[in-house]
Amino acid sequence: MKVIITGATGMVGKGVLLECLDHKKVQEVVVIGRNSVAMQNPKLSEIIHADFSDFSEVKSQLSGFDACFFCMGVSSVGLKEPNFKHLTYNFTLALARELVKINSEMTFNYVSGEGTDSSEKGRVMWARVKGKTENDLLKLGFKQAYMFRPGAIIPLRGIKSRTKAYQFIYDYFMWLVKLIKALAPNAVVNTTQMGLAMINSVLYGYPATVLKPRDIIQLAEK
């Protein structure tokens, strides 16, 4: 399996990257990002790319892949809707539209969020934008496309969040996240489960296109 990953310097993306590098079914991983992941592995190569609204300059390097795991995302805190939509919807669809033209048989996985608004009409801005992103990805024509809505995520393998507010929660309130996990095992996932679920979606498929925490956990265990 040959895989493209975005957002590999972030918490979820790094978790997915580590699982891909360790998995025997994954032969090659290409990371697309503005900055290097600063890792060495025989399976790993990188495309350093500045403009995520246009991938035409690197499209010759994007053919022959079985999957794209789109883990890049930004917090909506402090952003107006046009800016958040540009960084979320426009960036995601720019890569997806390029990929579907040359890898229509691939699996495209998008990390969205629990509470995403599929109707695109709700009052919560980020949820509407994520909903439109999901809906339009599902219409593109990939062989498989899955929208991951993980909710709370426990970082494993020494992974840290690049979002200061999130890392503050992990540093001081991880006991609460773990308590929620103990009381409701299917409500919280970890970064390893995210990575394994992504890989298994390519290998085995899944009956739903929108994956909530329970689905992610089940898919990770296949």
pLDDT tens-place string over residues 3-17: 999 999 999 999 999
Task: Reply yes or no on whether the pLDDT at 166 is more than 80.
Answer: no
The pLDDT, as a whole number, for residue 107 is 98
Task: Reply yes or no on whether the pLDDT at 217 is more than 90.
Answer: yes
* Closest among 73, 94, 75, 76 to 147, alpha carbons compared: 73
Higher pLDDT, 43 or 180: 43
The pLDDT, as a whole number, for residue 43 is 98
Domain 2-220 belongs to what architecture? 3-Layer(aba) Sandwich (3.40)
- 17-76 confidence digits (pLDDT tens): 999 999 999 999 999 999 999 999 999 999 999 999 999 999 999 999 999 999 999 989
Domain boundaries, the chain: 2-220
